[in-house]
Structures are given as structure tokens and as C-alpha cells.
Amino acid sequence: MTAHPATAPRAVTGGPGEDGPRILEHALGWILVAVFAMLVTRLGLL
């Protein structure tokens, strides 16, 4: 006997697939990467 039944309802965690459009999230992620890259190069860390 297992501790979790196979038919238990899944918990809603508010992950990326559950709120907002995916393209917006993808674009914001790339903007964050670009800003971080600019910061690193400006500070001379690379």
C-alpha cells in the first residue's frame, strides 16, 4: 500500500503554466538575462 493514492487531486501551486501568457513570461526571462549580462560586462566581471 502506498502513502499517496494515484487518483489524488493535484495541488495548485501557481506555477508558470497556470497564470499569464507564456510568451510574456518568456520575453521577461530573456530581458532579465540581457540586463544581467549588461551588468556583468559593465562591472568588468567578465
Of 8, 26, 9, give the one whose Cα is nearest residue 17: 26
Asked whether residue 13 is domain-assigned, the answer is no
**Cβ-proximal residues to 25 (8 Å cutoff; 6+ apart), any chain:** 16
Q: Which residues in the chain land under pLDDT 70? A: 1-8, 14-20
pLDDT at 18: 59
CA distance 37 to 39: 5
Beta-carbon count within 10 A of 30 CB: 9
Judge whether 31 lies within some domain. yes
- Of 32, 29, 11, 13, the closest CA to residue 21 belongs to 29
* pTM score, whole prediction: 0.53
pLDDT of residue 4: 62
Full residue range of the structural domain in which residue 40 is found: 21-46
> Domain total for the chain?
1
pLDDT digits (tens, 9 = 90+) for 10-21: 777 766 555 567
In a domain, 15, yes or no: no
